[in-house]
Amino acid sequence: MTFADLLAALADSADNSVTLPADWAQGRAGYGGLVAALVYEGMRAKVGAERPVRSLAITFVGPVATEVEMQVEARVLRQGKAVTQMLGMATQNGEVMCVVQGSFGASRESAVAVDAEPAPLIKAPEECTQIPYIEGLFPIFLQHFETRWGIGDLPFSNSRKREMGGWMRFAGDEGEIHEAHILGLVDVWPPAILPHLQRRVPASSLTWTIEFIQPQPVIANTDWLKYRAEVEYARDGYGHTSAMIWNQADQLVAISRQTVTVFG
């Protein structure tokens, strides 16, 4: 099933449940970007379109198993004049696996208007290093995406560079691209601290905060998105990274922050 198929399966479910297929695995767990997107979709369904998502705070509590039914729960915490605060959860076998707190806000008049910083210069996708999916070497979910390395060094290369990034998109046409798809794309990148290692070790996202620029810039079905992440601090098995995402026209799409655990 494609990313869009799984979003549709949740929307069509009578009991808000969905099962992640085995080809969406990330090690022993289901792909975190997909899990977060599914919880977001459950939240989005309960908020009017006039209130676009502004930010999501995501905590990965436990690994979601593939081929096992997952339930998505969402409820309104507070609905004000302009902002709706939501809580979403993914549960499996009665246990909480992912928690998402979301803020959805309508536009309002303001004298404040500050443009984003310019996007970084990166070679065109076709000129960057393609990272092909190799069965047995990379997590199986990566077959659903395309990535091109354009900033920094590859994971486990004993690098000391603080920046990492390049281009990303879905491997196939997923239909109309919106915020749920952005969640799926952003999390495809490995933690920006992994290039600092010289051997393969496990690592995973602990918390993830992502803020969406509204109105969302236009992103066509098969467009590339530009990604740049920076390591801000790392010690004692935890890393703190920030990232920004732009469309092909260099318009800012989202701002992301992660706390990452690394076992090495």
**What pLDDT shows up at residue 187?**
95
Q: For 183-242, what is each residue's pLDDT tens digit?
A: 999 999 999 999 999 988 888 889 999 999 999 999 998 999 999 999 999 999 999 999
Q: If we measure between CA atoms, which residue out of 52, 34, 216 comes closest to residue 141?
A: 34
**What pLDDT shows up at residue 180?**
97
Does domain 114-264 fall under CATH 3.20.20.70? My reply is no
Q: Is 90 exposed, middle or buried (0-12, 13-18, 19+ CB in 10 A)?
A: buried
Residue 189 is classified by DSSP as S
**What pLDDT shows up at residue 196?**
93
Domain ranges of the chain: 1-106, 114-264
Pair of tokens at residue 183:
């969640």
Q: For 4-49, what is each residue's pLDDT tens digit?
A: 999 999 999 999 999 999 999 998 899 999 999 999 999 999 999 9
Cα 93 to its chain centre, rounded Å, is 24
Distance CA 194, CA 241 (A): 11
Mean pLDDT on 148-172 = 94
Q: Is 74 helix (H, G, I), strand (E, B) or coil?
A: strand
More confident residue, 46 or 131: 46
Residue 188 is classified by DSSP as T
Q: For 62-100, what is each residue's pLDDT tens digit?
A: 999 999 999 999 999 999 999 999 999 999 999 999 999
Whole-prediction pTM: 0.95
**Domain spanning 1-106, CATH class:** alpha beta
Percent of the chain past pLDDT 90, that is, above it, reads 89
Q: If we measure between CA atoms, which residue out of 171, 137, 145, 164 comes closest to residue 258?
A: 164
